[in-house]
Amino acid sequence: MRRSVFYVSDGTGITAETLGHTLLTQFDQMTFCQHSLPFVVDEKKVDEAVKQINAAAKADGTRPLVFSTLVDDALRARLCTCNGAVFDFFETYTAALETELGVAALDVPGRSHGMGNVRTYSDRIDALHFAIQNDDGATTRNYPHADVILMGVSRAGKTPTCMYLALTYGIRAANYPLADGDFERGSLPMALEPFRQKLFGLTVDPERLQQIRSERRPNSHYASYEQCALELRAVEKLFRRERIPFLNITQRSVEEISAQLMQLAGLERRI
Amino acid sequence: MRRSVFYVSDGTGITAETLGHTLLTQFDQMTFCQHSLPFVVDEKKVDEAVKQINAAAKADGTRPLVFSTLVDDALRARLCTCNGAVFDFFETYTAALETELGVAALDVPGRSHGMGNVRTYSDRIDALHFAIQNDDGATTRNYPHADVILMGVSRAGKTPTCMYLALTYGIRAANYPLADGDFERGSLPMALEPFRQKLFGLTVDPERLQQIRSERRPNSHYASYEQCALELRAVEKLFRRERIPFLNITQRSVEEISAQLMQLAGLERRI
């Protein structure tokens, strides 16, 4: 079974997509053909959206699902003339929230992913530059300024987690790759010793690591099951011996790893 | 006026936070004190959440807003015993969607930010590594593999946009900083010439650039209004002369810049 889905927004479309994706994951017996229509800010744009939705309805023979976040009542009413099932997020909740809060909503579009203040913007960018500069053990001299230092073997998810922590939470995260030499030593790498309290480990099941590494270098020693299993056994032994908290990322997305890590490492968002 | 707000989720909390933030931006005459409670997956965790919500209700003297995404009916019912106004996104929309689609929802928690398949995961990570390797004009030899190459003066938003494009859309974005030498030449930097079709410019108002640069290096020549205005005039002249599409990022968040850029550059998401 196949359905067309449209995300219609007066802003980036992020909220409409988040809402729709989340709901649709509960219907995975269906196939959804998804279209994003951001920045629908005037009547002309709404009419174009209606035209696209109606064309899909005709082609599919069923009416499309339309997830929308249109703040403006008139634009929303215009969208609702389409031949689709419209779920508008503001329409659903605004009245209930106005009652609960005892004040009227502003009805100003495009606020949810707007710029914010300069300070928050700069903190986010600085955290991102920090993550880039301190990626993959490039240098350890900035570790005094890190909020957290991730450790793990190659392709255990360190880099994407650092970038996501920076963009989403404004956290300054460095990462340090562990390789054969580090396991043989029987102690923490010297450069990390003064920063024990900031260390956090990432690990992964060997089958999964083999898959991930094979996407990068198929049929290599690096991607072999044996090598993956060997490195992972050694790294988990090191985490346990040195009492470094760690998280297994198998079956977890970057979003989940980051949210779990914030909790487990006791970090507070900075933005 | 001050209200406590809780985001309760059986997963990362990203959906609950995104949806709640979006609604609350329409009520900015209020002050919200926000708390995220992710990974609420069993009765014990729900009871802890209820306890925290009730404590806030007592301290505030008004009931908190609770935005939740709990798939499990029993856990949701248990949460609803709290002394807060609970808005659950699954409860709101699931029945209507089931009717519209003619099938039952799965009711499996934590799916919306789950891992996805290995290929999508790898594409996302590869895009991120690409953005890091090709940040700030570090090298131009990978430009044949870029989906887009961002150009702009220092602190015009190139780096965060590249990282966000990689994480969110799986787009391979490089970035090239423009400085005095590039403006005087009167032609595109040689290294960029073969990749004209991939170029996209970012610009910003001089007042804003001055603010952003001042956060980094206060009272410097680099952050002075005159220097910012000079560079921006030159860069916009270059974009116009070379017919490079560009976007002014003033008042736009990284999310907005990225969504706009996807549209204007005609890019399709890869994940």
Which long-range contacts link A211-215 to residues 24+ away (Cβ below 8 Å)? A211/B118, A212/A155, A212/B118, A212/B121, A212/B122, A212/B125, A213/A154, A213/A155, A215/B118, A215/B119, A215/B122, A215/B126
- Average the pLDDT over A231-240 and give the result: 95
Q: Which residues contact A91 (CB under 8 A, 6 or more apart)?
A: A76
Beta bridge mates, A5: A34, A65
Q: How far apart are alpha carbons B67 and B83 in whole angstroms? A: 13
| pLDDT confidence bin for B83, thresholds 50/70/90 | very high
**3-class DSSP assignment, residue A193:** helix
Query: Quick check: is A258 in a domain?
Result: yes
A63, A22: one domain: yes
Query: Quick check: is A181 in a domain?
Result: yes
Q: Which of A255, A258, A264 to mutate to test the interface with B (most CBs of B within 10 A)?
A: A255
Q: What are phi and psi of A241, to 5 degrees?
A: -60, -40
Is there a binding annotation on residue B11?
no
Q: What is the dihedral of CA B248, B254, B260, B265, to 10 degrees?
A: 90
CB nearest A19 (choices: B19, B25, B160):
B19
Is there a binding annotation on residue B153?
yes
Beta bridge mates, B32: B3
Q: How far apart are alpha carbons A29 and B196 in whole angstroms? A: 44
B93, B122: one domain: no
Both tokens of B134, joined, read 């090709």
Q: Is the pLDDT of residue A186 over 70?
A: yes
Lowest mean pLDDT among A1-5, A39-43, A168-172, A240-244: A1-5
Query: Quick check: is A112 in a domain?
Result: no
Query: Quick check: is B9 in a domain?
Result: yes
B146, B200: one domain: yes
B66, B130: one domain: no
Sheet holding A85-88, edge to edge: A31-37, A2-9, A65-69, A85-88
Residue of B nearest to A99 (CA): B85
Q: Is the pLDDT of residue A11 over 80?
A: yes
User: Which residue matches tokens 């949460």?
Assistant: B79
For chain B, percent of residues with pLDDT exceeding 70: 97
User: Which residue matches tokens 């003339």?
Assistant: A81
Q: Which of A101, A127, A154 is at the close of a domain?
A: A101
C-alpha closest to that of A12 among B99, B261, B20: B261
B90, B138: one domain: no
Q: Pairing mode, if any, of strands A199-203 and A173-177?
A: unpaired
Q: Is the pLDDT of residue B118 over 90?
A: no
Report the complex ipTM. Answer: 0.80
For chain A, percent of residues with pLDDT exceeding 70: 97
A201, A176: one domain: yes
A211, A132: one domain: yes
- Average the pLDDT over B174-187 and give the result: 87
B12-16, B98-102, B183-187, B258-262: range with highest mean pLDDT: B258-262
Sheet holding A148-152, edge to edge: A173-177, A148-152, A199-203, A246-248
A148, A257: one domain: yes
Query: Quick check: is B111 in a domain?
Result: no
| Helical (H) or strand (E) element with A185 | helix A180-185
Q: Which of A5, A10, A23, A269 to mutate to test the interface with B (most CBs of B within 10 A)?
A: A23
A149, A82: one domain: no
A215, A126: one domain: yes
Q: Which of B66, B101, B136 is at the close of a domain?
A: B101
Report CB contact under 8 Å: A159, B132.
yes
Query: Quick check: is B110 in a domain?
Result: no
Q: Which residues contact A100 (CB under 8 A, 6 or more apart)?
A: B65, B85
CB nearest A65 (choices: B89, B100, B212):
B100
B205, B136: one domain: yes
Beta bridge mates, A148: A173
C-alpha closest to that of B29 among A106, A91, A99, A70: A106
Domain membership of residue A239 as a residue range = 118-264
Query: Quick check: is B271 in a domain?
Result: no
Q: Is A122 touching B (CB cutoff 8 A)?
A: yes
- How many structural domains does chain A have? 2
Q: Is the pLDDT of residue B161 over 70?
A: yes
Whether the CB-CB separation of A205 and A231 falls below 8 Å is answered with no
Q: Which of B101, B130, B151 is at the close of a domain?
A: B101
| pLDDT confidence bin for A116, thresholds 50/70/90 | low
| CATH number, domain with residue B257 | 3.40.50
CB nearest B25 (choices: A27, A111, A157):
A111
Q: Is the pLDDT of residue B201 over 70?
A: yes
Look at residue A114 in the predicted model and tell me its pLDDT: 64
- Average the pLDDT over A66-70 and give the result: 94
Contacts of A25 in chain B (CB under 8 A): 106, 111-112, 114
B150, B67: one domain: no
Query: Quick check: is B270 in a domain?
Result: no
Look at residue A113 in the predicted model and tell me its pLDDT: 67
CB atoms within 10 A of CB A53: 25
